[in-house]
């Protein structure tokens, strides 16, 4: 695709070459995200960070990514205005707000709303999550993390062995990640969930049509013993038909250091879209994994800044100018010092 001036609405827009282009630009952003260097390439540009649904970390991640490129951020953090409740169309809202910025990031609770908004916008719109529909930057940062973690082991995404664990029925992030994986080759996926919360059939079919090998199970320990990536997601109790059903699965999808040591290969990377529920009764990742160097959950969120910087740079066509406007950082850098 031609990124310049394009809306980024769905991962379905990207082919393999597009993804590689995004990731290459994300790689080039690392010196700026790690505060070794500062760039002013977007000095004077404005991001309209339009969050019509609260999401602190996604909002701040987009905003910081734009600041790191030298731009300014104007934003909204909820349905503060009554314009939409007064019957204003998303087309009108978009047309008006797009007069205030050079690019818009939008999050909205309704599926399809961001695409509808983009039709009215005069500037590029990046989807920051529209209900159950899409959250393309989350899927990209997940895949970028997989690529980076495997790269440090001398490998690529083709041939990846991954287990996805938890609520695979409702998890927007695992759905999107599966769709992205379809443009790569020879992936082995193990889908680990309670039967009631299984991955939708249409996604499994897409994976198999792409030539991937899919195994379905509700057993955690056996499924994580030969994988490169263990991608855990939250299971909410209220998703089950009854409390008895939920109790039946309690703790069976929880990963901790003891299980990791006993069942995983030594380099298996642990991922999670966050937030992780750290309460004892949660079905997720134990805090005792924090000392495990293969716990990549925070590298995921850090990578989100790189991926979002890359998308801004591509859409506004400054990817090749970033270094030209750069200089060394002159303040104390905690990240460099650790």
Positions marked catalytic:
57-58, 86, 107, 135
Q: Which residue carries 């879209």 as its tokens? A: 273
Residue 28 makes contact with its own copies by CB under 8 A = no
The backbone torsions φ and ψ at residue 117, rounded to the nearest 5 degrees and listed phi first, read -60, -45
Binding flags for its own copies, 182-221, as an x/- string (CB under 8 A): ----------------------------------------
- Is the Cβ of residue 259 or residue 329 nearer to its own copies in the bound state? 329
Instruction: Please answer whether residues 159 and 152 qualify as being in contact, where contact means their C-beta atoms are separated by less than 8 angstroms.
Output: no
User: Residue from 12, 13, 89, 261 that binds its own copies (CB under 8 A)?
Assistant: 89
**Taking the complex as a whole, how short is the minimal distance between the CB of residue 140 and its own copies, in angstroms?**
16
Instruction: Please answer whether residues 286 and 246 qualify as being in contact, where contact means their C-beta atoms are separated by less than 8 angstroms.
Output: no
Binding flags for its own copies, 93-122, as an x/- string (CB under 8 A): x-xxx-xxxx-------------------x
Long-range contacts of 126-130 (CB under 8 A, 24+ apart): 126/7, 126/8, 126/62, 126/308, 126/311, 126/312, 126/315, 127/7, 127/8, 127/9, 127/10, 128/51, 128/55, 128/58, 128/59, 128/62, 129/53, 129/55, 129/58, 129/172, 130/106
- Is the Cβ of residue 4 or residue 225 nearer to its own copies in the bound state? 4
User: Residue from 154, 266, 291, 331 that binds its own copies (CB under 8 A)?
Assistant: 331
Q: Residues near 147 by Cβ (< 8 Å), separated by ≥ 6?
A: 23, 156, 157
- Is the Cβ of residue 103 or residue 157 nearer to its own copies in the bound state? 103
User: Residue from 5, 156, 159, 211 that binds its own copies (CB under 8 A)?
Assistant: 5
Restricted to residues 265-324, the positions that interact with its own copies (CB under 8 A) are 274-279, 282, 287, 290, 298, 301-302, 305, 315-318, 321
Residue 55 makes contact with its own copies by CB under 8 A = yes
């Amino acid at each position: 695709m031609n990124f310049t001036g394009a809306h980024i609405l769905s991962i379905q827009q990207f082919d393999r070459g597009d993804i590689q282009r995004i990731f290459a630009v994300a790689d080039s952003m690392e010196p700026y995200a790690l505060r070794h260097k500062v760039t002013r390439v977007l000095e004077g540009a404005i991001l309209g960070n339009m969050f019509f649904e609260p999401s602190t970390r996604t909002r701040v991640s987009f905003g910081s990514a734009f600041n790191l490129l030298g731009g300014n951020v104007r934003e909204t953090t909820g349905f503060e205005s009554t314009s939409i409740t007064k019957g204003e169309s998303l087309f009108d809202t978009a047309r008006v707000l797009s007069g205030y910025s050079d690019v818009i990031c939008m999050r909205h609770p309704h599926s399809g709303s961001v695409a509808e908004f983009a039709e009215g916008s005069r500037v590029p719109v990046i989807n920051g999550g529209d209900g159950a529909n899409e959250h393309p930057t989350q899927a990209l940062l997940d895949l970028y993390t997989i690529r980076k973690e495997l790269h440090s082991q001398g490998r690529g995404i083709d041939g990846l062995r991954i287990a996805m664990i938890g609520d695979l029925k409702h998890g927007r992030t695992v759905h999107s990640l599966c769709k992205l994986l379809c443009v790569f080759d020879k992936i082995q996926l193990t889908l680990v969930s309670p039967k009631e919360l299984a991955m939708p059939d249409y996604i499994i079919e897409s994976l198999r049509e792409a030539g991937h090998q899919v195994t379905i199970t509700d057993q955690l320990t056996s499924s994580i013993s030969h994988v490169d990536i263990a991608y855990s997601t939250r299971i909410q109790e209220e998703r089950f038909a009854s409390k008895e059903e939920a109790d039946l699965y309690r703790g069976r999808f929880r990963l901790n250091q003891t299980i990791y040591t006993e069942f995983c290969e030594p380099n298996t990377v642990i991922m999670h879209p966050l937030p992780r529920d750290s309460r004892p009764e949660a079905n997720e990742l134990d805090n005792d994994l924090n000392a495990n160097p293969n716990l990549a959950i925070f590298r995921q969120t850090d990578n989100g800044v790189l991926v979002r910087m890359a998308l801004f740079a591509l859409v506004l066509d400054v990817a090749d100018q970033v270094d030209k406007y750069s200089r060394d950082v002159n303040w104390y850098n905690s990240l460099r010092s650790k």
